[in-house]
């Protein structure tokens, strides 16, 4: 494929959300002529979720910019090793190191306030006598922790339409870290109460990413979609210009 063909943006949502969390970013991108794919992440296992997103990426005919929000950042850290991925964009996300789990990275920093709002619910696992455990956010705590600057009516809807994350995803180690070989950008949501913003900053700095900070909640894509879209456009422009991440930092 041509190195500088216009890329497709693949948007990967995180835990406690679905692809509609990008509902306000997608029009910003499509209005600029960007092709977008926003798949549903199973949210069952880090490795399995990444394998699924990798299959979505491989099905795209041409280069891809892979964008991950929150847990989706961990997913793109694995899936981003696909040959047609040109760049990674982390949005209030986890940038894991090879061999590191979500729990390990998060455990190095003070809790954001999310931990005591989590709800654990068993679910049946096909072919097993053991139950899995779904993790979600208490409905009454969700708006303040997840979507403080999203309009209250929408935040209330999001609170009752969560896509839970299986607990096993928190303890699985990342077998690879795509940011080591792909240029990467990171957005810190500085008023994030779901992920400690220092977790985001640490991961981005460790990876040598081009980083921006936005004064917003965890659901920055809904609260400030233009800022998110602009960062994605920066990554697109870099791939089209043939410039690398080092150039972006100059």
For range 210-220, the mean pLDDT: 98
Confidence of residue 138 (pLDDT cuts 50, 70, 90): very high
pLDDT tens-digit profile of 184-214? 999 999 999 999 999 999 999 999 999 999 9
What is the rounded average pLDDT for all residues in the chain?
Answer: 94
pLDDT surpassing 90 at residue 249: no
pLDDT surpassing 50 at residue 82: yes
Q: Are 74 and 96 in contact (CB under 8 A)?
A: yes
Phi, psi (degrees; rounded to nearest 5) at 15: -75, 155
Confidence of residue 244 (pLDDT cuts 50, 70, 90): very low
């Amino acid at each position: 494929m041509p190195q500088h063909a216009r890329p497709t943006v693949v948007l990967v949502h995180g835990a406690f959300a679905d692809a509609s969390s990008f509902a306000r970013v997608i029009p910003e991108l499509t209005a600029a002529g960007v092709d977008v794919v926003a798949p549903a992440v199973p949210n069952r296992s880090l490795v399995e979720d990444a394998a699924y997103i990798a299959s979505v990426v491989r099905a795209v005919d041409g280069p891809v910019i892979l964008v991950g929000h929150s847990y989706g950042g961990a997913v793109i850290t694995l899936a981003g090793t696909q040959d047609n991925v040109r760049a990674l964009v982390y949005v209030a996300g986890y940038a894991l190191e090879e061999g590191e789990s979500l729990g390990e990275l998060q455990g190095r920093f003070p809790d954001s306030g999310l931990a005591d709002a989590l709800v654990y619910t068993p679910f049946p696992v096909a072919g097993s006598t053991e139950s899995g455990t779904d993790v979600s956010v208490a409905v009454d705590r969700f708006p303040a922790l997840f979507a403080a600057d999203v309009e209250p009516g929408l935040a209330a809807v999001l609170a009752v339409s969560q896509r839970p994350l299986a607990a096993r995803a928190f303890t699985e180690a990342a077998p690879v870290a795509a940011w080591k070989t792909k240029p990467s950008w990171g957005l810190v949501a500085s008023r994030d109460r779901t992920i400690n913003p220092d977790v985001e900053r640490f991961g981005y700095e460790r990876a040598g990413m081009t980083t921006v900070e936005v004064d917003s909640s965890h659901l920055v894509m809904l609260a400030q979609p233009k800022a998110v879209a602009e960062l994605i456009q920066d990554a697109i422009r870099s791939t089209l210009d043939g410039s690398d991440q080092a150039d972006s930092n100059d």
